[in-house]
Structure 1
């Protein structure tokens, strides 16, 4: 006989954002069930670099969410620390042309007005901060607040600490709704229904599909990116997260075409991670040699010593993209009881605690830590985005 469970909230998705939603709901005393058709961190989280960034965010709703999340990441680090490989390494954005440097300085000035620590540095100071950086750099901005975690570890620890029942390999086939339109749980095929007054859509790149199971529209599309992983290197060859100034423009771009901009950072285990690429090609995971070559060329331009370092592997991940580059966070008035926590694109790891905290506050009827209006999930017209996979 199909199993029926009762709880306070069902979270669909066991990645970093789903884990954060479960964690903060658990802290609020809620009984939580987390479902995922795959494994914990089996989607975008497992393909992420673990960046916790303010350096790439314009003043506005996303930056506000990032600053809230950084404060919460500090609390998480105090609790879990080395277990999630939290590293407050800081970030450096590098400019290689006068125009890029002027644009970067103007961008940093706007961020400082919104509470970001952004320190302009000249070429001599850049060499002190990153001794192996290219001599072509004309200057940059140091962001001390940027940090990094190991995302799969962080998601696992938050899920464990949440007290949630986690069921992997369980696919949601329908979001259950009453005649008045309100949500009362989910259906998981032959595995039965789970009844709950709240359902949280934390399905990442598949958030649009889960929304559709509730009969509502959320135009989430996958934006593919590749990461190169080098052989282990001695500690502190790359001391910060370092990226070129054009990375910020690529993040904000609406183009479906391939874009690459060099992003380089070390990991606690020794390998260096190299990105970043962006393109909308549906869920195509096939290796792209042009992308790999472009990433390698960009990385060696920033750090020439990498030309003599072996790449051990490369992998692809899919960022959950929404057309205005803001996540969908909050209650869906079209389906009372349904909450969305998805569409964070490449910032999901960093924005996860703030997202989970807001969702828990809203479910509990508490005043939210920031105004979620700009993130409301019903802000998109039905024709906002079409699926542009080949």
Structure 2
């Protein structure tokens, strides 16, 4: 199929962030096309655990974005059907194995409470009331009732399906972005669907966000950060919350390129237990790293000894879209009029997607964004940052 058709906005990327951008833009009355070189949720979204977290975020702009997004998620869950997208407001439990770790958790919680996050300290003797199968010897923790989970691929698919004024092009690679004589966006070129004429482009291409920026004559230093998840056989509900060790918070905040892993364990509505989380910058190397999987399994068993005899059915991996300051790029590109960015959310894209989509739709409609997005300004990176990041 070829030719030229016209939309108000073309969203590049049919993952959770792209789906949320398209959903809110269509709800605002814009004509929207979504383009992805693969199927829906074929990238980071399809390899995610579906976490909707405030617990792992320090006070600041990302926490503000997460709190808005979590409120929006509750509305989306009702709209799409909680069972349909496997939405569970199950809460998160962060546990400490030493007094120093517990002190760090308390400090983080104090700042979060000042921002309006719901959280409460859990003494050591009460941990196993919340999670009966936790290992003994933990010194305490913090419970975050707001933390939740969805099945990310289902959520993205149903969000796109439910957006009426939207055209979806899957299996359609973007080969270029057309600019007018004034340097502004005029359309998106594709190998399969021809040229999609539009007045605006939203770059929601995840780990490929830097490539899309280059096609449009701009730059964004997005890098892939590989992670693995283990999936167990279906089980009775052994793990009630999302449970993770205190060092996971430090891993999330770290910009290290080296391998980092910490125990993250959670049950699912379907039965299997998901075990993570690892992070490392190895480019787009998809090698199945067995030592990493063994390390994740050992950390999970240390946290939940009952898992020692459980079978692992599979492991999957994906790439988190990482930016050097560990904040997403959300907003207008300063160099290319009509180009907008919604990428670089690293491991928080599922949770942050609804607020990102709402903000992008507001910008596209010329409205004031719901939040101050100064910290997410794509222009905060100098053009040479993208070259140095490779």
Sort the TM-score into its range (normalised by shorter chain): over 0.9
Task: List 4+ stretches of structure 1 deviating above 6 A.
Answer: none
Equivalent residues of 2:221, 2:389 under 8 A apart: no
**Matched ranges for 1:18-33 at <5 A:** 18-33=18-33
Q: Aligned-pair distance for 1:114?
A: 1.0
**Mapped partners of 1:162, 1:366: distance in 2:** 21
Equivalent residues of 2:220, 2:386 under 8 A apart: no
Q: Which residue of structure 1 aligns with residue 52 of structure 2? A: 52
Q: Aligned-pair distance for 1:382?
A: 2.7
Q: Which residue of structure 1 aligns with residue 6 of structure 2? A: 6
Q: Aligned-pair distance for 1:386?
A: 5.2
Which of residues 222, 225, 229 is equivalent to 1:227?
Answer: 229
1:154 aligns to 2:155 (yes or no): yes
Q: Which residue of structure 1 aligns with residue 288 of structure 2? A: 287
- CA change 1:33–1:360 in 2 (3 A) is same
**Mapped partners of 2:94, 2:2: distance in 1:** 54
**Mapped partners of 1:282, 1:28: distance in 2:** 37
Equivalent residues of 1:89, 1:239 under 8 A apart: yes
- CA change 1:190–1:27 in 2 (3 A) is closer
Q: Which residue of structure 2 aligns with residue 113 of structure 1? A: 114
Equivalent residues of 1:280, 1:388 under 8 A apart: no
Equivalent residues of 1:329, 1:377 under 8 A apart: yes
Cα distance per residue 1:345-365 (max 9 Å; x no partner): 000000000000000001001
Which of residues 194, 203, 213 is equivalent to 1:201?
Answer: 203
Query: Per the alignment, in what secondary structure is the counterpart of residue 287 of structure 1?
Result: coil
Query: Per the alignment, in what secondary structure is the counterpart of residue 84 of structure 1?
Result: coil
**Mapped partners of 2:270, 2:154: distance in 1:** 13
- The CA RMSD over aligned residues, in Å, is 1.1
Query: Per the alignment, in what secondary structure is the counterpart of residue 308 of structure 2?
Result: helix
Equivalent residues of 2:59, 2:111 under 8 A apart: yes
Q: Aligned-pair distance for 1:313?
A: 0.4
Query: Per the alignment, in what secondary structure is the counterpart of residue 234 of structure 1?
Result: coil
**Mapped partners of 2:230, 2:55: distance in 1:** 22
Q: Aligned-pair distance for 1:332?
A: 1.0
Equivalent residues of 1:221, 1:387 under 8 A apart: no
Cα distance per residue 1:210-258 (max 9 Å; x no partner): 01101111000000000000000012x1000000000011111111000
Query: Per the alignment, in what secondary structure is the counterpart of residue 162 of structure 2?
Result: helix
Residue segments in structure 1 that go unaligned for 5+ positions in a row: none
Q: Which residue of structure 2 aligns with residue 188 of structure 1? A: 190
Tell me the TM-score normalised to structure 2 length: 0.98
**Mapped partners of 1:190, 1:354: distance in 2:** 31
**Mapped partners of 1:290, 1:270: distance in 2:** 26
Equivalent residues of 2:330, 2:342 under 8 A apart: yes
Cα distance per residue 1:36-59 (max 9 Å; x no partner): 000100000000000000000011
**Between 159-168 and 316-325, the greater mean CA deviation after superposition:** 159-168
**Mapped partners of 1:362, 1:264: distance in 2:** 37
Equivalent residues of 2:96, 2:141 under 8 A apart: yes
**Matched ranges for 1:80-99 at <5 A:** 80=80, 81-99=82-100
Equivalent residues of 1:10, 1:35 under 8 A apart: yes
1:213 aligns to 2:206 (yes or no): no
Q: Aligned-pair distance for 1:201?
A: 0.3
Cα distance per residue 1:46-85 (max 9 Å; x no partner): 0000000000001111101000100100101111221100
**Mapped partners of 1:388, 1:25: distance in 2:** 31
Equivalent residues of 2:263, 2:299 under 8 A apart: yes
Q: Aligned-pair distance for 1:299?
A: 0.2
**Mapped partners of 1:149, 1:184: distance in 2:** 36
**Mapped partners of 1:387, 1:296: distance in 2:** 35
Tell me the TM-score normalised to structure 1 length: 0.98
Q: Aligned-pair distance for 1:388?
A: 6.8
Equivalent residues of 2:9, 2:30 under 8 A apart: yes
**Matched ranges for 1:129-140 at <5 A:** 129-140=130-141
